[in-house]
Chains A and B, each alone.
Chain A
């Protein structure tokens, strides 16, 4: 199948998919800014088989084997991993793609980690479930270019035509004469050759793939299991000082005074100093406060406990989650900004035989990656070096340079492994904190966020109230769908007075509703932020999918229909859903519509696959129930069937989960399975437990006792992942899209088991 590039998607306006870049543009000019064109121009000219939004990301794509591949005389092939590894396996999957096209033997491949440098490597923002989607073709081209150069070197050496030689399994062979040369023997000559034009490259046929679609064990496995893997929290430099900070408890607050006497009396504490902060909102700049510097982290934490600090709480001192929830509920009961409008919803609702109404509340969440933010910085007057777990190393390089007033090339950002990210580590405030302290103390400094810091000062997942009214006619057909979503936008962390969700948030499972309903209106009532909002794995898809997929089951119940049949009926006939027709500035995950349309047929098939594999409709013991949900996000299609067993005390067990995935072309199926397994666990966490509440502007939770996450004794007994064939389609996202359908499928299963409808997350004690 061929995917042609079209200008149509550009006409839709917002093509810049990088959350970081959109926001940068917005802050600088007050409007959305289109990114630079494709780096080096080469990628666009190469006419890949389908277009992606990769070139619209900051610094675009670099397709250059000299940047990504090097071969030692002993034949060891080094391939650069330029994205951030936080558990998706990307540090393995992207080099594996290069190795496949290069015909390299994986056993002789070494993965070299890039530093943060987008001018050299192209975009490095590891979020938005983009890595495979944006880099499958470029990585193949890089591998094919290097392979071609090795073949050319061998052909020249043997004085034969390049067509007569073939690279295979780490050597080049001349079939006619049987001569062969290993990659190590050819590397020096190959390196002197010009890099071939991308459009001249021969890419492998799918049948020739050694690793793509099959996978290899991920490269960090041994180091992780032996404790040798180095995360940002593990970097240690000679003469390094250890810092923890106390930050304003209310966003927008600032330091008035502090008394360090008792803190300085703690053994091991060396200094207590003010830490520079920025007024809210300030993108990713630090909150400021007071830093305790010590000979080790334990002493710094103890010193901080002894510190006395006076704060001015500022304008958000009244933020109260109970009051705010009432505000959001009032908002969704009135009309709001119409962001998608088809047909006449008001008239259709009026004429409907039955109107099913649901209101859903999904609270703030904290990311709580197992590694809390940490960073090491070594800054002098002329240069800065950073070691940290960062999802946006290139953006961090820019932010550090700007903050310190250094030229970009004076800032080196080393990429360590990330102990989880989930969106939190796209924001580099902790690295800036370390850099500022290092400059002040003229020594390497390590900043450790405690778990309490991590939960009290997060860039939180938004808080949302969703209201859906569905009108059904006499024949039982859904004829009207009005969905109002009120939630503070993450744009509020970048500019003041933001009241509406951004196009990015609206595009996440809200305006892109793929249902065959003649009258649809999506409205976005205003909601102001009173804390730092950021993106959390799957972002606004979490509340939107929860509302939409719960509503489907509510309609089914109201009409006495099977929920799976109801879902399939609403998805409707196989077709491309032209969301852009009725939606201004529709954001399609930054991807061109032609390569990545909203395909109702794919959503149907993945729903059927989950239902079939999950044995939908099977006889269950008393107290058990099945729930289903399906959702397109990050241009992948996921459906989940969950079986629950609820006892009379309200304890929930999960005997089985079946998740079906259509992500188009897949590269590393084993890591896709692990991402879907993890998405189920994160779905359990947010459905059962996850809630950050505010009182007097302060987050009321601080550690895993009051912000619990799912533990092993709550895990499903079995999670089956079913990957749909899709090797003829462009690749979609995997890191995030497993999360959104889980909570609604789970809560629909609880309804089936108990008759108790969950409309407010978390479930908490609602079943007790």
Chain B
């Protein structure tokens, strides 16, 4: 039995302890805001926060999140108005939007760790998150905007 907290709620899992957190969230808990993109931590679409760090849920086993606090896009901000979310809307960053929850979770953690990142730091920290539609220049601008206050 694995106990964990997801977005402030107590969860328990008594299935395969090696199940990736991604599929526990999406298929067993109905939290579909966290996306599957590659399954190998190559694209960042599944980024969530575990214990105050941005992690890729697709390679994080359930046994590794036992007794941990997991935050998904659904729990990032009670009304969806985290500065990063607001900046994303202000600059109309997304196109198809599929990767954007992962981008936002990565960006939110980046700013938590480093509230005033340089352009180079933004690129370095966001390089693990792929956007096939190509919203990168707006992602960069939105992180700068979120850092200076929306």
Q: Decide if A and B are genuine partners.
A: yes
B33 interfacial by beta-carbon distance below 8 Å: yes
In the assembled complex, which residues on chain A have CB atoms less than 8 Å from the CB atom of B22?
A: 298
Residue of A nearest to B126 (CB): A712
In the assembled complex, which residues on chain B have CB atoms less than 8 Å from the CB atom of A233?
A: 32, 35-36
A341 interfacial by beta-carbon distance below 8 Å: no
Partner of B23, one of A297, A452, A709, A717: A297
Q: Say yes or no: A299 contacts B19, CB within 8 Å.
A: yes
In the assembled complex, which residues on chain B have CB atoms less than 8 Å from the CB atom of A89?
A: 95
Question: In A396-424, which residues have CB < 8 Å from any B CB?
Answer: 417-422
A682 interfacial by beta-carbon distance below 8 Å: yes
A638 interfacial by beta-carbon distance below 8 Å: no
Q: Say yes or no: B136 contacts A681, CB within 8 Å.
A: yes
Knowing A227-B74, A710-B134, A719-B137, the reply to whether A298 touches B38 (Cβ < 8 A) is: no
Whole-angstrom distance between the alpha carbons of A751 and B6 in the complex? 53
Whole-angstrom distance between the alpha carbons of A370 and B111 in the complex? 24
Closest CB in chain A relative to B107 CB, distance in Å? 11
Partner of A370, one of B20, B45, B88: B45
Q: Say yes or no: B100 contacts A680, CB within 8 Å.
A: no
Q: Say yes or no: A372 contacts B36, CB within 8 Å.
A: yes
Count of chain A to chain B residue pairs whose CB atoms are closer than 8 Å in the complex = 200
Partner of A224, one of B34, B100, B123, B128: B100
Question: In A23-65, which residues have CB < 8 Å from any B CB?
Answer: none
Closest CB in chain B relative to A602 CB, distance in Å? 25
Knowing A371-B35, A711-B130, the reply to whether A296 touches B28 (Cβ < 8 A) is: yes
| Interface size, chain A (Cβ < 8 Å) | 69
Whole-angstrom distance between the alpha carbons of A625 and B104 in the complex? 34
Partner of A221, one of B15, B39, B94, B130: B94
Whole-angstrom distance between the alpha carbons of A88 and B100 in the complex? 15
Residues of B contacting A: mostly: loop
Q: Say yes or no: B19 contacts A678, CB within 8 Å.
A: no
**Cβ proximity bits B86-110 to A, threshold 8 Å, 1 near / 0 not:** 0011001011111111001000000
Whole-angstrom distance between the alpha carbons of A221 and B140 in the complex? 17
Closest CB in chain A relative to B13 CB, distance in Å? 11
In the assembled complex, which residues on chain A have CB atoms less than 8 Å from the CB atom of B40?
A: 451, 703-705
Knowing A224-B94, A370-B98, A417-B97, the reply to whether A712 touches B136 (Cβ < 8 A) is: yes
Closest CB in chain A relative to B130 CB, distance in Å? 6
Knowing A298-B23, A713-B124, the reply to whether A705 touches B98 (Cβ < 8 A) is: no
In the assembled complex, which residues on chain B have CB atoms less than 8 Å from the CB atom of A298?
A: 16, 19-20, 22-24, 27
In the assembled complex, which residues on chain A have CB atoms less than 8 Å from the CB atom of B100?
A: 224-225
In the assembled complex, which residues on chain B have CB atoms less than 8 Å from the CB atom of A230?
A: 32
A677 interfacial by beta-carbon distance below 8 Å: yes
Q: Say yes or no: B137 contacts A715, CB within 8 Å.
A: yes
Q: Say yes or no: B132 contacts A226, CB within 8 Å.
A: no
B150 interfacial by beta-carbon distance below 8 Å: no
**Cβ proximity bits B29-57 to A, threshold 8 Å, 1 near / 0 not:** 01111111111101101000000000000
B26 interfacial by beta-carbon distance below 8 Å: yes
In the assembled complex, which residues on chain A have CB atoms less than 8 Å from the CB atom of B124?
A: 713
Question: In A662-693, which residues have CB < 8 Å from any B CB?
Answer: 670, 674-675, 677-682
